[in-house]
Amino acid sequence: MTELDADGWFAGVSPDDADAGARAIREGNADTPSDWPQQAVEVDFATDESDYYAKLRTASIRATREAVTERERADDRQLVHAVRAMDDCESEANELAERVAEWAGTLYPEARTGIDYARTLADSDPETTVEERLVSLAQRVVDLADERDDLRTFVERQAPAVAPNLADLAGPVLAARLIALAGGLESLAKMPGGTVQVLGAENALFAHLRGHASSPKHGIIYTHEYVRNTAHDQRGSAARTLSGKLVIAARIDHYSGEHNPELKEELDRRMEAIRSRGDDE
């Protein structure tokens, strides 16, 4: 069977072509509801109602799988994976560097701490089997640290391509982290400024809601210089202003993708006014 005269998602679809059925589900539409199972049987698309729903289920699962795959391959999702991997490498490298330092302290009086010491140790020549294992572990620390640096370079290059305005205002790495915390650029674009302001401070926010702490003034945006380097009594105003502009930037990036340098200029002016207000006091 080729073309079908009946309406519905199965119009023009061969009963055995699940790919075409999946495309029809994702792209098709109908003006009004109808008795699709009965129509499918009448045009020999399905042998009975159960067969119709079996074919619909197969096509629906395939359509959903394709939609999920397409979404995961989107540029903002790749940016999310990259920045999360970067942070994982950072965390693991630091944790293993501590283990290396603790172990090295039992062998070498001059042992130090940190990833830099792990790099030094990784280049040394072990003389015993114990030292071989320690040097090997130090090399793993170096590998993780190098991968972290490579991922950061990728994020710094990719973020301006995915979200040019957000990266311009927040910096590439913070922009990527905000997108990751929000669950994607679209989700970030739909958030109110107040929510973006406390992204990353969920534990403090929940503690506040339970009555165990004061309301957090900011979350991860604290790492932005306009919040971190603003006087403490003006930091709340700075965080509100920054989060509001970040939301606007995310919306422009999601819905148009065009870079608007005036947004950064406006943020700079607003922050200068906030800081000068603090200086006057």
DSSP for 264-281? HHHHHHHHHHHHHHHHH-
pLDDT computed for residue 43 by the predictor: 73
Q: Is 134 left (phi over 0), alpha (psi -120 to 50) or beta?
A: alpha
Per-residue pLDDT tens digits of the chain, which is 281 residues long: 333 444 455 666 776 776 666 666 666 666 665 677 777 777 777 788 788 778 777 777 766 655 554 444 458 999 999 999 999 999 999 999 999 999 999 999 999 999 999 999 999 999 999 999 999 999 999 999 999 999 999 999 999 999 999 999 999 999 999 999 999 999 999 999 999 998 987 666 666 567 666 666 778 999 999 999 999 889 889 999 999 999 999 999 999 888 999 999 999 999 999 988 755 44
Contacts of 217 (CB under 8 A, 6+ apart): 197, 235, 236, 239
Q: Which is nearest to 188 in space by CA: 80, 100, 41, 267? A: 80
Which pLDDT score, from 0 to 100, does residue 65 have? 56
pTM as predicted: 0.71
Per-residue pLDDT at 18: 66
Residue 244 tokens read as 């509001």
Residue 213 neighbours by CB distance under 10 Å: 13
What structural domains does the chain harbor? 18-72 (no CATH), 75-159 (1.10.287.4070), 163-281 (1.10.246.90)
Interatomic CA distance for residues 250 and 156, integer angstroms: 17
CA distance 44 to 2: 11
